[in-house]
Amino acid sequence: MTIRSQEDIVTRVWALRANRWDIVGFREEVLVEALDLDHARQVLTPRHPGEWTQRVDHESYARDYLRFAIGKIIDHRGNSASRSVDKLGELAWLLVRDDIVAAMDQARYPMYGAPKVKAFADGFDWPFLDGLDSDDERALARMADGQQCDPQGCARGCAD
């Protein structure tokens, strides 16, 4: 899969910082790992003290991270789910899928970002519900539709 140019990635890192769109640095983490050493040196800061490593296979990482994000949604993990949505959005940008970025931006966030994560999976035509037991599959499908995981009410705290 194609990724953005090194210069585009560096520009994006500086834009995230300038506009304070990534205060904790989750999006930046995805981008910095996509840089070669020469370009990484342009953006490395005390936030990344000598711990930089380059990731080469961004598609596999995106697929694996999608599974991770789904797990966080099913487990009702608010902060982790939010971080996952940010990272998946940045991975879509990195993989030059502006259509997916737009679809994620248009999707609502309720239910731990399930609609946004589904937009990511659908955009790449990757499985969203596969590999889950039937209860988790039903719950995730409901959450992706913006509903509580259980039609009888959620005991674990579904939030919008």
Give the three-class secondary structure for 116. Answer: helix
pLDDT at residue 100 greater than cutoff 90: yes
- Per-residue pLDDT of 39-79, as tens digits, reads 988 888 655 556 667 888 999 999 999 999 999 999 998 88
- Per-residue pLDDT of 109-160, as tens digits, reads 889 999 999 999 999 999 999 888 999 999 999 999 999 999 888 887 775 5
pLDDT recorded at residue 30? 92
Residue 18 CA to residue 26 CA, distance in Å, equals 15
- Point out the least confidently predicted range of 27-31, 91-95, 116-120: 27-31
pTM above 0.75, yes or no: yes
**Which parts of 3-152 fold into alpha helices (H)?**
6-19, 26-32, 37-43, 58-74, 78-94, 98-106, 114-124, 134-144
Task: Identify the band that residue 90 occupies on the pLDDT scale cut at 50, 70 and 90.
Answer: very high
